[in-house]
Structure 1
Amino acid sequence: MQIKKLVNQTVCVTAVSGAMVVMSLPVQADNWRGWNIHPPGYPNTIALESFAESVSERTEGRVHPQVYNNGVLGSQPDAIEQTRNGALDFANFNMGPMGPIVKETNVLSLPFIFNNVEHMHEVMDGEVGQRFADALAEKNLIALSWFDSGARSLYNTSHPINSPEDVEGLKVRVMNNDLYVNMIEALGGNATPMAYGEVYQSLKTGVIDGAENNYPSFQSSNHYEVSQYYSLTEHLIIPECLCVAKSSWEALSPEDQEIVREEAIKASEMQRQLWVDGSRESRQIVLDAGVEINEIADKSTFQDKMQPVYAEFIAENPELESLIDDIKASN
């Protein structure tokens, strides 16, 4: 009897102890891996890391995002596929390279589709932006908010550009995309696709006369040292998304989905302001170095020159014409 009583007591103690261990175990965190091509300190990186920290804190560790910077998890095309299949949980993607996956996003690479950065924000934060988000969702990417990547403008070694006629005959480096090649040719220039790393020396030696980019890139690449004229054409204004893998998103509770969405919007607001601050700083650096910056009072003459570019694009993608019309109508 004593032995049986001791066994029963032992079983009870063991059961209670096991229950206490189970009760003391933490809730399993969902560790999210996030892709980012930018280095530490970049506006996008700061915003993404703030997003990760806030989500982890507000979900009490149920979702614990970690940002991997400098593209260490692969190139953007690789990261897009990894996020679509759930191998990555979230990412900051530029819409330029998204076109082969999500056809609708090619509209965002049309030159002069937006009047200015503020117009882009208005469009992407509204009903039209939701249509792009819906198209991304069909490819297993949930776009929660839209980041800024500035406005790309023309710069060259010869003279200010105030009208399309000022582009005629200039050899201008562009990214390797038919839309950008067609844009320069429509303005009368000679488009020259070229690796970004070759631009500085090509400007210096006269292989090309100019290129195009935003203020921070113009400054950080040191192109301002060999290109004295920066003209605010603002011909390309391409948004970026803070996107979550559909499988990761659907694994969240409705409450955690709301938290993640709210923090993504806050991250977007932070990134946009940091971008403005960084652009202002870069602008001042190139001004102090002697670069001549000119505003363009009327961009309609540039936009008129884009009619053949748009006509060819619409002929090849008739189903996207309504998107273009709706963006233009929101001016």
Structure 2
Amino acid sequence: MKYQTLGAALLASAAFVAPAFAQDIVLRSSDTHPPGYPTVAAVEYMGELISERTDGRIAVQVYHSAQLGEESDTIEQTQFGVIDLNRISMGPFNNLIEATKAPSMPFIFRDVAHMRAVMDGEIGEEILAEFDDHNLVGLAFYDAGARSMYNRQRPIESLEDMEGLRIRVIQSDLFVDMIGALGANATPMPYGEVYSSIQTGVIDGVENNWPSYESSGHYEVAGYYTLTEHLIVPEVLVMSKPSWDALSEEDQAIIREAAQDSVAHQRELWEAREATSEEHVRAAGATVNEIDKGPFQEAMGPVYERHAESDELRTLIERIQAVE
């Protein structure tokens, strides 16, 4: 089943939330990334597992490339059941679910292994549970690598090189303040508008990971990639609570287990894609450089002060930092 417009998807949603489930169920899943991207492929793999385990009664149709909308636009649609499943970055949830701020904080994870230890454990389970109060069901966390800075103007070798740069960020107050603390000007913008905005000079650069830098073609218009690795933010797979509640407990268990089973597959795909993406952009002539991260980490003090406002969030941050 393929809907050509969002309007068609909205109309079709009524078929899913209806109580009659004798017929097959097709869960519509949203992703901003292109076909073959690790998150897209992982949700497709999850769909295969679900289909196998339900003898074909339930299928997953992944709408990649923001066909159902940009990430920030799809949250509400998922809450209302217009979209059934959604793979989305953690950042757009920061203003909705406080607990998601903790793993989104700059330099909170020492490395990818630390991030996985946190998100695969008790803390990750607690954060997933927080989605329940917002008409969503948290299913799993996917890897999104380390995010670094890239721009069209110059290599970033120090904080001084950040001054005045217009950097695109996702629509999150935390991300806006992070860029501001580095001396640059944050510009929230939908992902799909980034390429042309760099090309025309509306913005100078972006912060993102190797696969996004490569798959989006951003390296073609922003040839300086600086390994700040300021964020290692996991991405989250959620399901609409109305869609979830319409399923039997048995089917809910199948979906939850399939989502968890897709994590290892996604990580394998991610690691391979990171390597090939880096190789591709280096071969294309992008200038890549490392930095002394110390001054960048020290500049994050005001960000932590502003966004770790509650005792609960400060405690959660301390627990994350303490995980070995």
**Which of 81, 104, 107 in structure 1 is aligned with 2:76?**
81
What is the aligned partner in structure 2 of residue 132 from structure 1? 127
Output one character per residue of 1:202-253: Cα deviation in whole Å (capped at 9) or x when no partner: 6567775543222122223433234443221111233222222334444545
Count of paired positions: 302
Matched, 1:142 2:129: no
CA contact (8 A) 1:249 1:257 kept: yes
Of 73-82 and 275-284, the range deviating more from structure 2: 73-82
Whole-Å separation in 1 of the counterparts to 2:289 and 2:69: 38
Matched, 1:303 2:304: no
Distance change in 2, residues 1:327/1:63 (3 Å): same
What is the aligned partner in structure 2 of residue 6 from structure 1? none
Output one character per residue of 1:146-172: Cα deviation in whole Å (capped at 9) or x when no partner: 1122322012455543543443x3414
Of 142-151 and 72-81, the range deviating more from structure 2: 72-81
CA contact (8 A) 2:155 2:226 kept: yes
Distance change in 2, residues 1:86/1:185 (3 Å): closer
Output one character per residue of 1:74-123: Cα deviation in whole Å (capped at 9) or x when no partner: 44445333433344432222222123432322333322222333322221
What is the aligned partner in structure 2 of residue 60 from structure 1? 55
What is the aligned partner in structure 2 of residue 101 from structure 1? 96
Structure 1 unaligned residues grouped into runs of 5+: 1-26
Matched, 1:239 2:234: yes
TM-score normalised per structure 2? 0.79
Which amino acid in the other structure matches residue 84 of structure 1? Q
CA contact (8 A) 1:172 1:184 kept: no
What is the aligned partner in structure 2 of residue 182 from structure 1? 177
CA contact (8 A) 2:155 2:225 kept: yes
1:284 shift after superposition: 0.8
Distance change in 2, residues 1:75/1:30 (3 Å): farther
Whole-Å separation in 2 of the counterparts to 1:69 and 1:194: 19
Of 109-118 and 75-84, the range deviating more from structure 2: 75-84
What is the aligned partner in structure 2 of residue 312 from structure 1? 306
What is the aligned partner in structure 2 of residue 171 from structure 1? 165
- What secondary structure does 1:138 align onto? helix
Output one character per residue of 1:145-198: Cα deviation in whole Å (capped at 9) or x when no partner: 11122322012455543543443x341413254333322332233445566566
CA contact (8 A) 1:51 1:267 kept: yes
Which amino acid in the other structure matches residue 293 of structure 2? K
Distance change in 2, residues 1:68/1:228 (3 Å): closer
- What secondary structure does 2:183 align onto? coil
CA contact (8 A) 2:168 2:205 kept: no
Of 321-330 and 114-123, the range deviating more from structure 2: 114-123
Distance change in 2, residues 1:154/1:39 (3 Å): closer
TM-score normalised per structure 1? 0.78
What is the aligned partner in structure 2 of residue 329 from structure 1? 322
Distance change in 2, residues 1:273/1:82 (3 Å): same
CA contact (8 A) 1:34 1:89 kept: yes
Higher-Rg structure is 1
Which amino acid in the other structure matches residue 35 of structure 1? S
CA contact (8 A) 1:218 1:224 kept: yes
Structure 2 unaligned residues grouped into runs of 5+: 1-20
CA contact (8 A) 1:95 1:240 kept: yes
CA contact (8 A) 1:40 1:69 kept: yes
CA contact (8 A) 1:29 1:64 kept: no
What is the aligned partner in structure 2 of residue 22 from structure 1? none
Percent same amino acid at aligned positions?
A: 48
Alignment of 1:255-294 (within 5 A): 255-294=250-289
1:283 shift after superposition: 0.7
- What secondary structure does 1:218 align onto? helix
Whole-Å separation in 2 of the counterparts to 1:72 and 1:206: 26
1:322 shift after superposition: 1.5
CA contact (8 A) 1:55 1:263 kept: yes
What root-mean-square deviation, in Å, do the aligned CA atoms of Structure 1 and Structure 2 show? 3.0
Of 206-215 and 106-115, the range deviating more from structure 2: 206-215
What is the aligned partner in structure 1 of residue 17 from structure 2? none
- What secondary structure does 2:314 align onto? helix
